[in-house]
Amino acid sequence: WSDNKKRLDKLVWGLHKYNPGLKVPVLFTYFPDSSSTESTIDKIPKYLGLETNQLIIDYHVLVMSPLTISKQINEG
């Protein structure tokens, strides 16, 4: 999660560098790998620092299933 947070921060601050004042919504896709999906999703904001990131105005987590990914993309 630490590496993902660093990547997200780099992306958001890179956008901010070229667009001062920009605030962005973010959609995360999450592919669950265990039975503790709900617990993990509840922790994502903390893991990625979403509540303290001043440049992210909104976020959503889309739970993906490897078995239905092509169907979900087509319906998107």
Using one digit for the tens of pLDDT, what is the confidence trace for 21-66? 889 899 988 888 766 888 888 889 999 999 889 899 999 998 887 7
- What are the sequence ranges of the domains in the chain? 2-75
Residue 15 pLDDT = 92
Find the angle CA(18)-CA(22)-CA(27) to the nearest 5 degrees.
Answer: 110
Residue 38 pLDDT = 83
Residue 76 pLDDT = 57
Residue 74 pLDDT = 64
Instruction: Using the CB atoms, write b or e for 46-73: b if 16+ within 10 Å.
Output: eebebeebebbeebeeeeeeeeeeeeee
